[in-house]
Amino acid sequence: MPSQAKTPWGTNRPIARGSPERRLSAHVRPQLKRFSKSRLPAGGACAVLVTVRSELLCGSARYSRASGKMAGAGMATLGSWVPRRRWGREAVFLGFYRGLSALLARKSERTPRWVPACRPKSSVSFLSRPDLPNLAYKKLKGKSPGIIFIPGYISNMNGTKALAIEEFCKSLGHAYIRFDYSGVGNSDGNLQECTVGKWRKDVLSIIDDLAEGPQILVGSSLGGWLMLHAAIARPQKVVALIGIATAVDGLVIQFNQLPVEVKKEIEVKGVWSMPSKYSEKGVYDIQYSFIKEAEHHCLLHSPIPVNCPIRLLHGMKDDIVPWHTSIQVADRVVSKDVDVILRKNSDHRMKEKSDIQLLVYTIDDLIDKLSTVVN
């Protein structure tokens, strides 16, 4: 018998591919066809399918480009949509009141638990690259598809989301890589000399030199921009994408929205002190050269040639990257398998417990989908 050892995400009980428990999502998708047509809110790119979930559960909205419909969900659907490999059948068949209350009233051993704040430190490995800074990384060996986490602007590989995904991958036995950009964290390099183009090369180096087999890329903020570039450059190896507050063209758009006199002042100084509540100093000092170089990597001005499944998670209270950006990305990519999930009360970082649960369940759902396609 396989081991029943506990993990941070519940009992590590093997679940066979193709079993009823792994295929519960098949009961959910037909319900999405019930919705009626409506118009996207101002600023959106196209008509969408939306499932508005209860605030207690997720407070979210779901977008599916393939359906092109938008409406409020029925109560049964509210209880049934949530990815549920470890939440069980009650979420699907008991309806909203019985199903959701049952889930929230008890702490099932199958329900993911929060990642501990204190973790034992493990050694950092380094990827040596001729004529390029060495990259610090941590790699977990395991099954395919592997997962690669791509952090946000000046974020490192030790953030809440990066560590939570690692624990989840351990529980599933899947390969996982997290890393620091050049000039950030433990990696070599000078941050003042970094550009979007250089960080794009960092991501490709991780994919080419460290990752084995097909990969699911999880990009946070600016990392969501870079994951799209990686998918364009390595279509055979990147098999799915998950964006968290995806900041495609974000810095360039924000800069271009500044008054002309402010932009001229930044050009003269050579530095843009962009206000941010996420910085200890209250501002991010961004090199003017960084902004100008980033203009060469903008994607929203034309169709984005990415064909793999894409899931875009975004908080509607994001004051850094508007959630409409994820809608624009969904409209621009050529892939037809695109979902946007809007979290009503989440901010830019999406690092609360319910945000992390949504993230890891989304990863699990994509693993299931990819395995079904392969099999």
DSSP lists the bridge partners of residue 226 as none
Q: Backbone phi, then psi, for 66, in 5-degree steps?
A: -65, -35
Q: Starting at the edge strand that comes first in sequence, how are the strands of the sheet with 215-220 ordered?
A: 60-64, 338-343, 310-315, 238-244, 215-220, 143-150, 174-179, 132-140, 125-129
Q: What gap in Å lies between CA 38 and CA 168, rounded to an integer? A: 37
Name the burial class of residue 121, with classes exposed (0-12), middle (13-18) and buried (19+) by CB atoms within 10 angstroms of its CB: exposed
CA distances (Å), origin 141, targets 16, 144, 148, 171, 271: 21, 9, 12, 12, 41
Name the burial class of residue 54, with classes exposed (0-12), middle (13-18) and buried (19+) by CB atoms within 10 angstroms of its CB: middle
Half-sphere exposure of 89 (CA within 13 A, CB side): 5
Helix axes 222-233, 196-209, angle to 10 degrees: 60
Helical (H) or strand (E) element with 148: strand 143-150
Query: Among all residues, which ones are annotated catalytic?
Result: 221, 318, 348
